[in-house]
Amino acid sequence: MGRKQAYTESELLDITKKLVLEHGYEGFNLQLLSRHLPGARSTIYQYFANKEEIVAACMKRLIATVIEKASAVDETNAMRALEELLGIYVEESKLHQLLGDAQKINPNQSAAANRDLDFVEQAHATLKVQLTRLFQKAQQEECLREDIPLPVLIGAFFNLINTPNMMNVPSSQWSKLLFRMWTGGAQR
């Protein structure tokens, strides 16, 4: 009998992210996950107790990556910082799709899932504060129109993330193109 293959928690979360994005939270289950992993299904339980824990940990890991990158942004120049943040958000464009399923997780099923969901909520609030601060600073510096309410500016900015990249350019180039279009508009 051959040795069973093992996988790391990171590999488990990578595959979880892929499957939740493909099948949605409702379509994701441990049986589906185990079909995409080497080794026995029971190995999953060495890391997580249930579906809720796995998905919440996946969300936490993804938003923690975004928080780490966003907190490293130099905010001295608000517009440059907004452009850099858009690059981060475009690079991690699946974050909002994945986080859309957060309310479907029953936090009563697992204390670990509940802690991870709390982290996700706090991290989301931190990102919102940073973004609002930068938009306000850009308006004060007269880099953005003041006659357009802040929620409209932020909403349009976030909708850029969902713009399909039909040209299949690298995300760094794509985010720069989107930012240029957002700041300059399409008008000649």
Domain spans of the chain?
52-184
Cα separation, 146 vs 137, in Å, equals 11
pLDDT given for residue 38 in this prediction: 83
In a structure prediction context, what are the per-residue pLDDT tens digits for the chain, which is 188 residues long? 443 557 889 999 999 999 999 999 999 999 999 999 887 778 888 899 999 999 999 999 999 999 999 999 999 999 999 999 999 999 988 888 888 888 999 888 899 999 999 999 999 999 999 999 999 999 999 999 989 999 999 999 988 998 999 999 999 999 999 999 999 887 77
Cβ-based neighbours of 106, under 8 Å, separated by 6 or more:
52
pLDDT confidence of residue 5: 57
Alpha carbon distances (Å) from 155 to 44, 64, 112, 146, 149: 39, 22, 32, 15, 10
Read off φ and ψ for residue 62, nearest 5 degrees. Answer: -65, -45
| Among candidate residues 117, 91, 89, the one with its CA nearest the CA of residue 25 | 117
Class of domain 52-184: mainly alpha
What one-character DSSP code corresponds to residue 43?
G
Q: What is the pLDDT of residue 184?
A: 86
Q: What is the DSSP letter of 45?
A: G
